[in-house]
């Protein structure tokens, strides 16, 4: 299809001298466009290479930041463990098992809860102890009540005391 039309155009161009200049001009324009496109491709490739380089440096920075975050997390864990141990030693009235948490705030909150629990237990024990209070020492001496005894029993009681 295309081959038939091309020969016809060549014949027309050869007949008209003005049109014979057009293919040369068109070729120059096309060559300029190709050159412009080549330059654009070159600039885009350079931009792409710069972006790739920037991505690589950002990946390295991200890896470094992740490593530092991991180190800091480990340091925080060690600090919280040391803080927890200090809190346990500073509060001997609390059970160490009651002091829990992975952050300082969680440890402080568990200490508050443990103190509240221990205070409640202490109050309950004091209440229980006051209800069943036994006086210290021996009871006061008093004379036995002999009003319920018969005369004979009273005599026997008096005779036992005199022996």
Whole-model pTM: value is: 0.51
Sign of CA dihedral 65, 66, 69, 75: negative
Give the pLDDT confidence score for residue 56 in this predicted structure. Answer: 96
Mean pLDDT of the chain: 84
Sign of CA dihedral 96, 100, 104, 108: negative
Which tens digit of pLDDT belongs to each residue from 121-131?
Answer: 999 998 888 87
Torsion angle of the four alpha carbons 84, 89, 94, 95, in this order, in degrees rounded to the nearest 10:
70
What confidence category does residue 139 fall into, taking pLDDT thresholds of 50, 70 and 90?
A: low
Question: Is 70 inside a domain boundary?
Answer: yes
Domain membership of residue 118 as a residue range = 16-129
Question: Is 2 inside a domain boundary?
Answer: no
Question: Is 112 inside a domain boundary?
Answer: yes
What confidence category does residue 156 fall into, taking pLDDT thresholds of 50, 70 and 90?
A: confident
The maximal CA–CA distance of the chain, rounded, in angstroms, is: 172
Question: Is 69 inside a domain boundary?
Answer: yes
How many domains does one find in the chain?
1
Question: Is 135 inside a domain boundary?
Answer: no
**Residues of the chain with pLDDT > 90: what percent?**
56
Which tens digit of pLDDT belongs to each residue from 2-58?
Answer: 444 444 444 444 555 455 556 678 888 899 999 999 999 999 999 999 999 999 999
Q: Using CA atoms, how far apart are residues 6 and 10, in angstroms rounded to an integer?
A: 6
């Amino acid at each position: 299809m295309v081959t038939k039309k091309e020969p016809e155009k060549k014949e027309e161009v050869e007949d008209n001298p003005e049109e014979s200049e057009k293919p040369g001009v068109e070729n120059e324009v096309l060559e300029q466009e190709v050159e412009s496109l080549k330059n654009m491709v070159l600039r885009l490739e350079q931009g792409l290479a710069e972006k790739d380089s920037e991505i690589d440096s950002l990946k390295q920075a991200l890896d470094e930041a992740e490593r530092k975050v991991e180190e800091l997390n480990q340091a925080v864990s060690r600090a919280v463990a040391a803080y927890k141990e200090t809190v346990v030693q500073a509060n001997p009235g609390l059970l160490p098992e009651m002091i829990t948490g992975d952050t300082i705030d969680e440890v402080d909150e568990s200490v508050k809860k443990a103190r509240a629990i221990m205070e409640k237990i202490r109050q309950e024990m004091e209440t229980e102890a006051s209800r069943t209070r036994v006086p210290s020492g021996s009871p006061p001496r008093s004379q036995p009540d002999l009003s319920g005894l018969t005369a004979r029993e009273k005599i026997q009681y008096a005779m036992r005391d005199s022996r």
